[in-house]
Structure 1
Amino acid sequence: MIKYLLLTACIIAPFLLTAQTWNVQTSHMAFQASMFGADVDGTFKGFKGTVVFDPAHPETASISGSVDAATLSTNNSLRDRHLKEKDQFFEVAKYPRIVMKSTKIGKTASGYIGTFDLSLKTVTKSIMIPFTFTKTGSNAILKGSVEINRKDWKFGGNTLGMSDKVKLDLELNLSSPISENK
């Protein structure tokens, strides 16, 4: 009898540790760069992605997503067109999506940290993003922020006055896991 109970426990245990797939309801993807010392704020829309996450077992998580590069907005149409079209910037016709995919997620004292592959045009680099996951009832908010060096992605060339540092902010508003909706 004990042998059957142990066998059953071994079969069921992986399912109990499986992360939950969340529905992305809304997203906010923003960036901030500096040009001649003045901050330039921008956003992207068109998020598509998957969030598989269990706060108790972040090691089983998988977070991936992309944004539509053509939705870039800095509230300046001339600058937006320049950023979207020039070869040293986004080239949205040739590279329509900016993609990010987790490779590892772990717990920290203040939340979580994810290692992600960020692909911009033809360059993919690994970055670490600290983030929080706040669950309220059947909803949750995943919020993270990181500073990257644009030159790591060969982005912006030697643009005069442009800071190398770019701050990225992301927020995903999630609804109850699909498995809980059934």
Structure 2
Amino acid sequence: MQIPTHIVAVGGIVEDDQGNILLVKTKHGGWVFPGGQVEVGENLIDALIREVKEESGIDVTVSNLIGVYSNTGKHKGYDGVTDIPTKVMMDFVCKPVGGELDVSDETTDSRWVKKDEVLDYVETPAYRTRYQAYLDFTNQTHYMEYVTHPTFELKQKRMI
């Protein structure tokens, strides 16, 4: 029996007091909200605070869990050889508490975007779906399963 391997990741929808959303432009995926993989021995909240700071320069506090998402598609990574395992992602509402917009090794731009203009920037279907879950959030957590390769397909959507 093979022991399952999953990637655990977190994403932050950071909204300021003026209703703007923090977006970062990645080298591989275009405009997205910040987040990334949880490192070994790291908890989800610390991972999210670290990822937002690394990718955007912004310090945040983390509050509500918006959704839990499973990308169950099987595909090869950027190297064309490595199998990408199932990815489990959790998105949280965040508030900025300091820092200044910046970029990183993974990002080429970061900016505040009006809440109703975010979908004009974000093109990746998975991120669009997850951002819509934020817009629809009513203190009930979303759960979705999808695949991203060869094309995006939403396989399951429910509230938990």
More strand by share: 1
Name the larger-Rg structure.
Answer: 1
| TM-score when normalising by structure 1 | 0.25
